[in-house]
Structure formats: structure tokens, C-alpha cells
Amino acid sequence: MLAFANAKINLGLQVTEKRVDGYHNLDTVFYPVKINDVIEINDAAITSFVSYGIQIPGDSSDNLCLKAFNVLKKDFDLPSQQITLLKNIPIGAGLGGGSSDAAALVKLVNEKFGLGLSASQMEEYVKPLGADCAFFINNKPVYAQGKGDEFTLFDIDLSAYQIVVVNPNIHVSTADAYSGIIPTVPVTSVKDLIHLPLKEWKSCLFNDFENSVFQKFPKIKDLKDSLYDHG
């Protein structure tokens, strides 16, 4: 069986507070986009994982697809599976590819083996795997708070617009993104800014990671400037 795991983008992102647990509180809107990884599962003698496409760093045993399967296997008598991933979503780009893969794997196993899990139950299984994993279960626009794991459905439809995602082949680590960040409670929240006419977003809707990322990777700033110059 096959599943398609789509990416997401952040419409604005505000880092509002450093938490006592070491994480940061965020305000952002997650919006799904049609860039897809492809996941296939087949019965096998032993459970294993293999990937193609974009190279995934690290050991395959750490992949979220395999971790998601093993989380389900603790509660269900599942037969061994060969998990195959075609990786198309760029890594380290904030597009949520790994989290989406985990969610898609859980939904795929739920369907194949008739586990009868509801959306909310599947969300509980994937939450320990990553802050934004649960978003990809329902895969609808949300206003995200907390460490990016507290969701409220958000009414926004950009289907009339062409969304362009540019991949400069630059991996931005979490440490790079947060370097130099000074958490600040904004005067106007992301969810309120997004209610403004879209043509005004350019002057008021920002991602707080931009300053630190642009300093370290000026090519990304050049790309943003070029996109804005072209409309």
C-alpha cells in the first residue's frame, strides 16, 4: 500500500517565549502544500526501512517512519513490514517532511490492518515523535502555539494562488535557526496579521528565524528578495 506525505509551510512565525523545559513558545500558522514524499509498506520476514531520493543523514533506525511503526507495534500485533520511502521533501527546510512521513505511516498502517484508530487517537501516537507530527494527521491549516504542538483550526484558503517553494539545497539546523533569537511577545499576533489582505503580508508578516538564518546563509535572503521583486 502507498501513502503520500505532503509538506507544510509556515505563514509567519513569532518566537514569543523561552520555556523552562528548554523549548520556545511559538505563534505561527501551518499550511499544507503539495510537495510529497511517497511511503510504501509490504509484508516481510522482518521489519526494515529503506529510502530513495534525497539522502537522509543518520542511521535508518532513527527514521521517524520506523519509529512510528514501532510505536504502533507496542499496542497492536502487527506483522513485520518492509517500509520504503521515496524522499522528495527537502530536509532541514522547515517543511515538516519527517513529521509528515511519520503521520502518513500511522494512517497507512491504520488503514491496511483495520486498527480502527480515530484521528485523535492517531495524533496521540505521533505526538511523542515530533512537535508538528500531529498536524499531518488532519492535514488542515492550523494556528499553532506552544512549542508548535498546540493547534487550533484556522480558516484560510490559498487554493486560488500559486505557492512557489524554492530549494537552495541549504540545510538549516535547529541551532542555526535559534541562534540570536530574542523571544518577544508581538504587538500583533500572526493569526491577526493573516486576516489582513494578502497584498499587505509582504510588509508585516515575517518569520523570526529570518535574521539569524539570513546572516548565516545570505543566499536564502537573496532568494526571498528575488521572489518579492517578481511579485
Active site residues: 8, 132
Eight-state DSSP code of residue 161: S
Q: Give the number of other CB atoms < 10 A from CB of residue 154.
A: 17
Reading phi first (left if > 0) and then psi (alpha if -120 to 50, else beta), residue 5 is in beta
Give the CA distances from residue 100 to residues 25, 131, 135, 197, 224, in Å, rounded to whole numbers and listed in that order: 21, 11, 8, 30, 25
CA distance 133 to 190: 21
Integer Cα distance of 179 and 214 in angstroms? 11
